[in-house]
Amino acid sequence: MRQDELHPAPGSKKAVKRFGRGYGSGHGGYAGRGCKGQKSRSSVDLPRGFEGGQIPLTKRLPQKRGFNNIFRVEYSLVNLSQLNTIKKDTQVNLETLVAAGLVKTMEKPVKILAVGEIDHPLTIKVDKISAAAKAKIEAAGGKVEEPENAAKAE
């Protein structure tokens, strides 16, 4: 096979529509642009989504979405069952949790949740703790302390 013998597949090549070349072409008269108006002119330059001066859909939609609470505090969550990996009678704070691999970052405050059981006493000193988790820790012989930098709720 030579290069001069190559041909496109049948039906893959189409003739370009030639607008405004008389009625015999099928695209004469108004040349597919309809009758009068801004979009029929030669110099139409409208932005995408333009609705003739009406507030566009893209600008109307944000009013109907939800909102983001700027005061929301994102916590690193630790379950009670995860604390079983820490040695007995240890003081648990942010640094020990990061060292144990239970918390990935020191940027977020930590909250202990009552998922699972704890089987040895620990001294817990984190930003927040659920009431059920506090009860389980104290039942196991541990204690919960307030951190120095904790904000007092009034």
Mean pLDDT value of segment 128-140: 93
The Cα 45–Cα 74 span in angstroms is 47
Residue 23 placed within a domain: no
Domain count for the chain, please give it. 1
Residue 117 placed within a domain: yes
Question: The CATH number of the domain where 129 resides is what?
Answer: 3.100.10.10
Q: What angle do CA 75, 79, 84 make, to 5 degrees?
A: 135
The pLDDT confidence band at residue 149, using thresholds 50, 70 and 90, is low
Domain residues for the domain of 134 are 76-144
The pLDDT confidence band at residue 3, using thresholds 50, 70 and 90, is very high
pLDDT of residue 89: 86
Residue 118 placed within a domain: yes
Q: List C-alpha distances in Å: 65 to 69, 71, 120.
A: 13, 19, 48
pLDDT of residue 128: 94
**Residue 151 pLDDT greater than 80, yes or no:** no
For the segment 6-62, what is each residue's pLDDT rounded down to a tens digit?
999 999 999 899 999 999 988 999 998 999 988 898 888 999 888 988 988 888 876
For the segment 71-95, what is each residue's pLDDT rounded down to a tens digit?
999 999 999 999 999 988 889 999 9
**Residue 147 pLDDT greater than 90, yes or no:** no
**Residue 152 pLDDT greater than 70, yes or no:** no
Residue 15 placed within a domain: no
**Residue 153 pLDDT greater than 70, yes or no:** no
Residue 60 placed within a domain: no
Nearest residue to 83 (alpha-carbon basis) of 111, 117, 107 = 117
| Residue 95 DSSP code | H
Residue 134 placed within a domain: yes
Q: List C-alpha distances in Å: 74 to 26, 63, 71.
A: 65, 26, 10
pLDDT of residue 66: 73
Residue spans of beta strands (DSSP E) within 37-133:
76-79, 91-92, 110-113, 123-124, 128-129
